[in-house]
Amino acid sequence: MGMAIFPHIRRFAQDRSGAALVEFALALPLMILVSYLSIDGLRLMWSYQAATAGVHEATRYLARVAPGDICETGGTLSGFDAALFDIVEGAGGGDSVFGRDAELLSVVTSLSCVADAGLRQPQVPVVTVSADLRMFLPLHLVLTRLAGTDAANVTTRIEEQARVYGL
């Protein structure tokens, strides 16, 4: 009776009817991982682009609403911090444009008075809006557990300058 099982094993080993299913089962986790990394990477790029557009809009806003004579009067830009943070974060509609992939840490403004710029004013006010953005890499939870807490995110600064035209 023990010898009667060997032909069945030999025939099973030579049967190729389920090979495609086995190959698909082996390739499926890799296809899912590549798809996830592609989609999550694109979401990360979209978050960075949204932050860049937000800094651009905040800089344009500040260049229009800051007083044009701010260099002569010695004014400050501190009253605009909350509005600029809302603009960069995209809170005009109420929700942040950043998903789970990015986090806006801070928005900082600075003013510089440029002398001898070749314009009609003796000093030209120039504002700089900087935003610090923390972006979480794809599979950041796995990377955090394997490599530590700092390896799973990247912090970057986005900056833009504009001349103040004032009201």
Question: Does any domain span residue 1?
Answer: no
Distance separating alpha carbons of residues 36 and 125, to the nearest angstrom: 46
In a domain, 146, yes or no: yes
Q: What is the pLDDT of residues 22-41, one digit of tens each?
A: 888 899 999 998 998 888 88
Q: Is 66 part of any domain?
A: yes
Q: Which residue range is the domain that position 152 belongs to? A: 19-163
% of residues, the chain, pLDDT over 90: 20
Residue 45 has pLDDT above 70, yes or no: yes
58 domain-assigned: yes
Q: pLDDT tens for residues 101-154?
A: 788 889 999 998 888 767 676 788 899 999 999 888 777 667 667 766 666 778
What mean pLDDT is predicted for residues 38-64?
88
Does 4 reside within a domain?
no
Report yes or no on 157 lying in a domain. yes
Q: How many domains does the chain have?
A: 1
pLDDT value for 92? 45
Specify the pLDDT at position 95: 59
- What is the pLDDT confidence band of residue 17, given thresholds at 50, 70 and 90? confident
- Report if residue 12 sits inside a domain: no
Average predicted confidence (pLDDT) for the chain:
82
Mean pLDDT of 85-103: 71
Has residue 9 been placed in a domain?
Answer: no
